[in-house]
Amino acid sequence: MLAYELFLLYFNTMKERITILLLVSLSVFSVEIIDIAAGFDHSLALDESGNVWGWGSNSFGQLGLGDTLQRHEPVMIDGLSNIADVSAGYCFSVALSEGGQIFTWGLNDQGQLGDGSTENRWTPVNVRYGGGFLSGISGISAGAEHTMAVTTAGEIYLWGSNIFGQLGIGSAGGFEILPVTPWGSDWERVEAGAGFSLAVRGDSLLSWGSGESGQLSNDTTLSRNTPEYALNSDGMGVITGIADIAASKFGIFWSNGHVLCDYGTDIHAWGRNSYGQLGIGTEDRISLPSDVLDPDGDSSFGSILDISAGKEHSAIISSDGLVWSMGDNYYGMLGNPYYSESSLPVPVLSDGSQLTEGHIISCGGNFTMILTDSGLYATGLNNRGQLGDGTTGIRTQAVQITFIPLEVEEEHAIYESISLSLHPNPFNSTTNIETTPGAYIQIFDIIGNLVAEGESYGIFVWNPDLPSGVYHVTATQDGKRATLKAVLIR
């Protein structure tokens, strides 16, 4: 750990010289990410210390930062600690604590937060149940507009939208603002999709909700409002022996989707396939499982480390750590600029070479995140900053994402009735300086040199070509002044 004490001397441009003493304590530490979750256009990451980071779209508070401002780089979420798992839905987020409680935040128009209301939440809240809080949870999954959880005792709970019967309560329509649990025990795993639900009970897969794309694997496109066994590839038996399962959370109209299923030695897929996202060599929709093929299309793909299903694309990490993708590539989410779409797996590239040493992958609406031994990478649509690289530009190959390893405690700052804030701060590329409209912004380096200035119209975007360090930001208007420090890490 490294600590500094910085004394900042600033001289303003008024006739009278004013000296300001600012004491800043900086602590530098490493951040190791152990899990990731891609939402429709926002992202979550979990570090080894149990902290949650968020970035991207924040229109409904889905980043949990107490506001609705976009973030283009990872920001740690206050108030969450000892978190064991994260999941991201359409504009809402879910986290599971090591103690078995669930926290949710973001969009709540369908009761998907499970807090007994339909009020959007900008900061994390507990999921309620039976006059208290839902507890004893071992697994979570956020769908497009509903949420699933499984307990250590093998019970499952669902809440949120039920428009397609995805809550499995025997009817379709409406929504539930608190968890419901209509079936017994022995449930082991849950996976929420776009208007449909999947769960493993015993050794078998069950499915319910929307079946418009054949995503229930019941050899039809009919929907179901109670759990039924998913059929195997010949339609004569049920799906068993599941090692992992991934459902598309963001299908068209929240009622279409596709599924990838890992059997340990190979992968099967079914459901919507308009862009070849099933990886079966065609773009035909199928309602029973079929082998995902290898990149040459000659045989089944084989064993894998992880799978994920996005809106119209999918991604795989093979057992040797290589990263692959298939389906739609309109926004670069396949991470391979040489394909517009692909019905067979193609390599995910970074700087022209295939990503290696991957171990976790997560597909969002139109982007993909990949966690490798060398760090976190992302590719695809970035209009809300969901890739976390400090920009809003599309990436057609995977770029590495930096988690700014800096904790800042400011002991003395100066405010004189004028608003001033920086998001993000610390930052490694661009920060938004938000202040009272009409205020004049000046930015100084550590020795008092003016490095940037200009009038603010509410937001002053600062994208400096400067070295790492602490910079002094001032906003002045009508004789009033506010000051803050900005920490730039390259």
Domain limits of the chain?
A: 2-29+413-488, 33-401
Segment-wise mean pLDDT, segments of 10 residues, the chain, 490 residues:
33 30 37 96 97 98 96 94 98 98 98 98 97 97 98 97 97 98 91 98 96 97 97 97 97 91 97 98 98 97 98 98 98 97 98 97 98 97 96 96 59 57 86 90 82 90 84 86 80
Number of Cβ within 10 Å of residue 118's Cβ equals 14
Structure tokens at 411: 């002991």
CA–CA distances in Å: residue 452 to residues 136, 160, 435, 484: 53, 48, 16, 14
**CA 25 – CA 8 distance, rounded (Å):** 12
Domains 2-29+413-488 and 33-401 share a fold: no
Q: Output the pLDDT for position 11.
A: 31
Under CATH, what is the fold of the domain 33-401? Answer: Methylamine Dehydrogenase; Chain H (2.130.10)
Q: Output the pLDDT for position 490.
A: 63
Q: Output the pLDDT for position 423.
A: 87
Q: Determine contact, residues 228/270, Cβ cutoff 8 Å.
A: no
Number of Cβ within 10 Å of residue 321's Cβ equals 14
**CA 443 – CA 277 distance, rounded (Å):** 48
Q: Output the pLDDT for position 308.
A: 98
Under CATH, what is the fold of the domain 2-29+413-488? Answer: Immunoglobulin-like (2.60.40)
Amino acid at 354: Q
**CA 89 – CA 148 distance, rounded (Å):** 11
Q: Determine contact, residues 60/107, Cβ cutoff 8 Å.
A: yes
Sequence length of the chain is 490
